[in-house]
Amino acid sequence: MSEIGHFINNARVAGTSGRSQPVYNPATGKSESSVVLASVAEVDAAVAAAKAAWPAWAKTPPLRRARILDRFKSILWERGDQLAEAISAEHGKTHDDALGEVTRGLEVVEFAVGAPHLLKGEITENVGTNVDSHSLRQPLGVVAGITPFNFPAMVPMWMFPVALACGNCFILKPSERDPSASLLMAEWLAEAGLPEGVFGVVQGDKQAVDALLEHPDVAAISFVGSTPIARYIHQTGTANGKRVQALGGAKNHMVIMPDADIDMAVGALMGAAFGSAGERCMAISVAVPVTDKVADALIEKLIPKINALKIGPAADKATDMGPLVTAQHLEKVKGYIDAGEAEGAKVVVDGRTFKTDKQGYEGGYYIGGTLLDNVTTDMSVWKDEIFGPVLSVVRAKTYDEAVDVIGQHEYANGVAVFTRDGDVARAFSHDIEVGMVGVNVPIPVPMAFHSFGGWKASLFGDHHMHGAEGVRFYTRLKAITTRWPTGMRNDPEFVMPTMG
Ligand code: NAD
């Protein structure tokens, strides 16, 4: 059994804590490796390496930093398949889906390569007589990223390319469920020329996270994961004086208006609800058809498509939907379907009994696609994030009722409306209290040069990730006011200086 360790000072490092846990292949249910779990001392060592590297990295011209990221980007293009394979082996998602994740991460690297432009300050000539003022964006120091299992390459790449381009050193604490992608990215950054200590990986659990949250030399924390942990990270990190952005869970609704192209809506729902087995923070987990007529038509068209989903291992190229990430998560998702049924939802398609007949994969964590009808806002299947291939249908009589359902939810990550009516689309986009909105787009994940983030309990902090918001998060502003001897007064000024 191989052991997955840390990455410090551009080298793989074995764990010393004596603690580790198995990493499973969700497609087979077997474990062939384990991941080490860092002690406080190991986190200290990673932070010390980053702190030592920071002064030189911060002073490295932005163009040189960007060129290293540019080389990293080329490596990602060449070896995307290798990274996708590592992701599929520990996460379970299909190869093409994993490759899509790598590409979306790579796009943030492309964005970060333009950082010299983003880091430009502002200048005002003659704010007073012979006095000029300019502002700079400077890096924060050592920053850390704590990431979830569902995008082991993309979510770290929402963070570190921008952080590094801005002149920070970065420590990644990936999910302990799929830790291998982080090490490949770390090795490729080193190969691209990143100096020792600038990027490190610390594997671990709560102990490592707490050590980062409390460490006096960590200036900022970026977190993506579930809402209870995001809330904890934000509270603890800010109490320790850090800048924190903590993205949490989601329950994304899709409103289908009576004028919508129903086949288009069905196709969109299939991908958005069942792609990656529903383990996406932007997955659509609730369909809100407006009028019973639309609901009935939608359900009739969804049933055969859900029954036809090809469920299996990533190794099978025909697979639409892989397994869930762990045996515990599989039980949790089944438990939600049980609860929904007990609370009065109608189980239209039942994925609980799905079994794979593929030899060698009988122990994998598979579940079939599930469709629940007549779901109401008092049910746990609506209130909680299930994070599995379970699509709930909440029927609405009117557009206003649909909007009201969405407004009641504590999460506000993504949302979509399917309609041909421009007025409805505009009113929906402008009025809905959700961070990312799609009009006839089911998964409206912003491109790298825009920023990603939800509202309400889907994000704690002030900054979204990547794009201009990412640059703001990873830099601090300095304002410099300059006067040269010409025209200087020698007599002391005891009143508040004004330039009028
Ligand atoms: P998680 O919250 O269990 O774990 C996320 C990270 O926090 C991991 O690195 C984990 O090691 C760490 N962690 C877990 N428990 C902790 C604790 N008690 N104290 C300190 N650290 C702890 O999330 P997950 O199951 O890995 O990922 C799925 C969740 O992430 C879903 O809720 C999903 O919606 C969310 N997510 C959100 C976004 C977004 O952009 N909003 C994106 C991807 C995933």
Q: 152 and 264 share a domain? A: no
Quick one: pLDDT at residue 485? 80
For the Cβ of 156 lying below 6 angstroms from any atom of ligand 1, the answer is: no
Q: State the residue range of the domain holding 405.
A: 252-439
Same domain, 274 and 234: no
Low-confidence ranges of the chain (pLDDT < 50): none
How many domains is the chain partitioned into structurally?
Answer: 2
State residue 7's pLDDT score: 98
The alpha carbon of 229 and the centre of ligand 1 are apart by a number of angstroms equal to 7
Note the pLDDT tens digit of each residue in 208-254.
999 999 999 999 999 999 999 999 999 999 999 999 999 999 999 99
Per the CB < 8 A criterion, the answer to whether 2 and 32 are in contact is yes
- pLDDT tens per residue across span 182-218: 999 999 999 999 999 999 999 999 999 999 999 999 9
Question: What distance in Å separates the CA atoms of residue 375 and residue 280, rounded to the nearest whole number?
Answer: 21
Rounded Cα gap, residues 36 and 332, in angstroms = 26
Question: Is residue 493 included in any domain, yes or no?
Answer: no
Measure 228 CA to ligand 1 centroid, in angstroms: 9
Which residues are known catalytic residues? 281
199 and 313 share one domain: no
Looking at the fold, whether 225 and 352 belong to one and the same domain comes out as no
Decide if 445 is inside a domain.
no
pTM greater than the 0.95 cutoff: yes
Cβ proximity of 473 and 222 under 8 Å: yes
Q: What's the CA-to-centroid distance between 60 and ligand 1, angstroms? A: 33
Residues with Cβ < 8 Å from 44, sequence gap 6 or more?
211, 215
- pLDDT for residue 497: 77
Specify whether 290 is located in the same domain as 431: yes
Q: What is the DSSP letter of 60?
A: S
Query: In angstroms, how far is CA 147 from the centroid of its own chain?
Result: 7
pLDDT at site 210: 98
Pair 363, 375 in one domain: yes
Does ligand 1 have an atom closer than 6 angstroms to the CB of 405?
no
Q: Whose CA is nearest to atom 30 of ligand 1?
A: 225
Structural domain contains residue 243: yes
Give the Å distance between the CA of 10 and the centre of ligand 1: 26
Same domain flag for 350 and 466: no
**Most ligand 1 atoms within 8 A of CB, residue of 173, 178, 224, 247 to mutate:** 224
List the structure tokens of 288: 């809100």
Protein residue with least CA distance to atom 23, ligand 1: 225
- Answer yes or no: do 102 and 237 share one domain: yes
